[in-house]
A = this chain, B = another copy of it.
Amino acid sequence: MHRTKVRIVEDALDANNTIAAANRADFDRAGVTVVNFMSAPGAGKTTLLERAVAELPGVRVGVLEGDVQGSMDADRLASLHIPVVQLNTDAGFGGECHLDANMVRSAIPALPLDEIDLLIVENVGNLVCPAEFRIGEDARVMVSAVTEGEDKPLKYPLMYRACELVLVNKIDLLPHLDIDLDRLLYNIDKVHPDVERIVVSARTGEGVDAWRDWLTRVAAPAGAMAAG
């Protein structure tokens, strides 16, 4: 009797990762670098985007704005004359507390991928679930506001570990807080040793140049590919 060799699929992906890989392929084809931008509610993501994307020399930026409902942040960013697409988890996705690969996939037809080099996906404000879902991004960035306390890396370690960059925001408020910046930085390093960090104030602009430089740097390879 002839015996068929059974092939074992070893690298079976779950549904989210399968769709994230499809998103990834679409972004690669268009030469677009994608950043998944995450934080707790009110940490300053939108203001940090307003500060950065208005002036990114040579980089054409687009934003995919994730919210449970509403389009307030998208409206703010659209006033900067960049392409912005709103994705609401309330509309067909059960009011989810995070974006996943399938939600992002549903937005791809609305994104002008051929006209941008860098897509920033502003996730729903939440320190837990967004870290668990890849969306096809190149890099993950989180904002950790000093007002939230120095213990947050220890309480939400998955989020801090998932990121390539941590923006430590609202440092203009440090003189008015009982918070030790060194302790916060120590705790970030404890859960994610040597992760890149930029200390910023979206309000005063301190550190924003370094944040712009970081975005320009990650956008460069895809931009070069698109031009080639």
A interface residue numbers (CB < 8 A to B): 40-42, 67-70, 72, 95-97, 124-129, 132, 145, 147-149, 151-152, 154-158, 170, 172-173, 176-178, 203
Contact = CB atoms under 8 A, between A and B. Distances in A.
Binding site of A, secondary structure by majority: helix, strand, loop or mixed? loop
B128 A42 contact: no
A126 B126 CA distance: 6
A127 B125 contact: yes
A70 B154 contact: yes
A176 B171 CA distance: 12
Contacts of A152: 41-42
B147 A42 contact: yes
25 contacts: A40-B40, A41-B127, A41-B148, A41-B152, A41-B156, A42-B147, A42-B148, A42-B152, A67-B155, A68-B128, A68-B158, A69-B155, A69-B157, A70-B154, A72-B155, A95-B132, A96-B128, A97-B126, A125-B155, A126-B126, A126-B128, A145-B147, A147-B170, A173-B173, A173-B177
B42 A145 contact: yes
Contacts of A147: 42, 145, 147, 170, 173
Nearest to A97: B128
The 9 lowest CB-CB distance pairs between A and B, nearest first, are: A42-B148, A97-B128, A147-B147, A40-B41, A42-B149, A41-B127, A97-B129, A40-B40, A176-B176
Contacts of A154: 70, 72
Q: Which interface residue of A41, A124, A178 has the most chain B CB atoms within 10 A?
A: A41
A149 B143 CA distance: 15
A28 to B, nearest CB: 31
Contacts of A128: 68, 95-97, 124, 126
Contacts of A177: 173
Q: Which interface residue of A155, A170, A176 has the most chain B CB atoms within 10 A?
A: A155
